[in-house]
Chains A and B, each alone.
Chain A
């Protein structure tokens, strides 16, 4: 059974460029989470969706960040324009809300470097 799939695994870009990170959750899961991990701030929840609907985006740092979930099997996190302080590892995770509550399945992450 495939786990959470994220792409790209690594992205290096220049300041001002648009970055799009992609996530395919585990089939059958109805909750999806985007996290950001840095040495300074640790693990931060950016946004999460239930049944493709954004529930809590209070962790999205600013308007440069946006996330979408057009269907149950795909989500994107977009940064436009990117800045060096956005450099981090971005994780997507999915779960089935209501079953084994709290058990999240994480992807391997997308490491973003903004020069």
Chain B
């Protein structure tokens, strides 16, 4: 079946550091890929998405590129802030599907 694998956290960084969170997936066909973010005490919210190979999703300084050859969708941010402390979830959905498959989540803690 479909699956999403993320690097385990927690990831602890200093402010202004570079952040990478690895995500790889297993799925047949051509899924759409997503990053969701969960801030403390809140529900998940969509951060960015990419719907086909080589697409780059971006939002709030975060970027991720859909790499079909490596089945990856790594999340990056060049300079993190304390406010980026959250749990980040990678996810996929199959074309014509309606059910997201989530990774296990990666907790990121940014220290001042």
Contacts and interface: CB of A to CB of B under 8 A. Distances in A.
Interface of A: 4, 31, 42-43, 45, 48, 50, 55-56, 91, 93, 95, 97, 101-109
A104 B53 CA distance: 22
Could you tell me the dominant secondary structure of chain A's interface residues? strand
Contacts of A103: 34, 46, 49
B2 to A, nearest CB: 12
Nearest to B33: A102
Nearest to A42: B104
Interface residues of B, number: 21
B103 to A, nearest CB: 8
A70 B35 CA distance: 32
A48 B98 contact: yes
Contacts of B98: 31, 48, 50, 55, 95, 97, 101
B99 A101 contact: no
B99 A56 contact: yes
B102 A102 contact: no
Interface of B: 32, 34, 36, 41-46, 49, 89, 91, 93, 96-100, 102, 104-105
A52 B49 CA distance: 27
Given A43-B89, A101-B93, A101-B97, A106 B45 contact: yes
A96 B46 CA distance: 14
Contacts of A56: 99
Given A101-B93, A102-B32, A102-B93, A107 B100 contact: no
A84 B42 CA distance: 23
Nearest to A44: B102
Contacts of A102: 32, 34, 49, 91, 93, 100
